[in-house]
């Protein structure tokens, strides 16, 4: 199991600023090398301060494409939409010119929506330049949930689909999520967590290998480059 490289901060504001700076540098480097950059971000409450800090970074946002690590199968007007969060907190200020690829679309089913999102992502680049993961108290990341019948497919290292539909026990909406190869192939892969409880969950995940119990283990069991752990109490 690959151990993450830790970056610990006294408070969440310091973490947000440091991580924002690192992401901006990685995106600028990608633009210089390849003429464009692809950033995948997670939703939830944890990244709000990060998004606000990143939105004022002075880089060439017109050459950046932003997408989501995962999404609920709900329109962006829904209060649980990750698209809505990113639009409100990240795609503002200097970052307003960035191109956004949603995972949700008007397809009739999550499976068809995943197909359409996969096609768009494949056109955006061969690899994600920066992927920012979160983690739940149950050890899930992206929309890979413990007990999900489709988890082996989502976390298979040979999965060819970039985006798939997902379900989770007790999760109210169907989900759309990036699969393991797309996330593990990111040039910079960050796990952003906050609070002592999340640190305890991570320690538990790193102490075992069963992906079905704690799906984040799929990342540490993969051939991903060193995961950069950003944590603050």
- Could you give the CA distance from residue 146 to residue 169 in angstroms, rounded to a whole number? 8
pLDDT tens, residue by residue, 45-93:
999 999 999 999 999 999 999 999 999 999 999 999 999 999 999 999 9
Determine the longest span between alpha carbons in the chain, in angstroms: 46
pTM for this structure? 0.97
Q: Alpha helix (H) ranges present in the chain?
A: 12-34, 48-54, 82-89, 110-124, 151-154, 180-184, 196-206, 217-220
Number of domains in the chain: 1
- Could you give the CA distance from residue 183 to residue 219 in angstroms, rounded to a whole number? 8
- Could you give the CA distance from residue 156 to residue 1 in angstroms, rounded to a whole number? 16
User: Do the strands 228-232 and 70-72 form a parallel or antiparallel pair, or are they unpaired?
Assistant: unpaired
- 198 has pLDDT over 90: yes
CATH number where 22 lies: 3.40.50.1360
- 2 has pLDDT over 90: no
End-to-end C-alpha distance for the chain, whole angstroms: 25
């Amino acid at each position: 199991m690959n151990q993450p490289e830790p970056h610990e901060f006294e408070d969440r504001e310091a973490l947000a600023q440091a991580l924002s700076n690192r992401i901006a540098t990685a995106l600028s480097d990608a633009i210089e090398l390849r003429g464009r950059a692809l950033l995948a971000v997670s939703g939830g409450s944890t990244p709000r301060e990060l998004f606000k800090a990143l939105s004022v970074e002075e880089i060439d946002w017109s050459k950046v494409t932003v997408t989501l690590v995962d999404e609920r199968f709900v329109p962006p007007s829904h209060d649980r939409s990750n698209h809505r969060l990113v639009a409100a907190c990240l795609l503002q200020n200097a970052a307003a010119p960035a191109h956004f690829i949603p995972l949700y679309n008007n397809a009739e089913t999550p499976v068809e929506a995943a197909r359409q999102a996969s096609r768009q992502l494949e056109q955006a680049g061969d690899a994600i330049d920066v992927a920012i993961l979160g983690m739940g108290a149950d050890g899930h990341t992206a929309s890979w949930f413990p007990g999900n019948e489709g988890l082996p497919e989502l976390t298979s290292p040979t999965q060819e689909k970039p985006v798939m539909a997902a379900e989770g026990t007790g999760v109210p909406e169907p989900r759309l999520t990036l699969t393991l190869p797309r996330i593990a192939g990111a040039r910079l892969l960050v796990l952003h967590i906050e609070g002592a409880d999340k640190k305890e969950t991570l320690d538990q995940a790193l102490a075992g290998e069963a992906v079905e119990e704690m799906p984040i283990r799929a990342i540490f069991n993969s051939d991903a480059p060193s995961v950069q752990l950003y944590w603050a109490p």
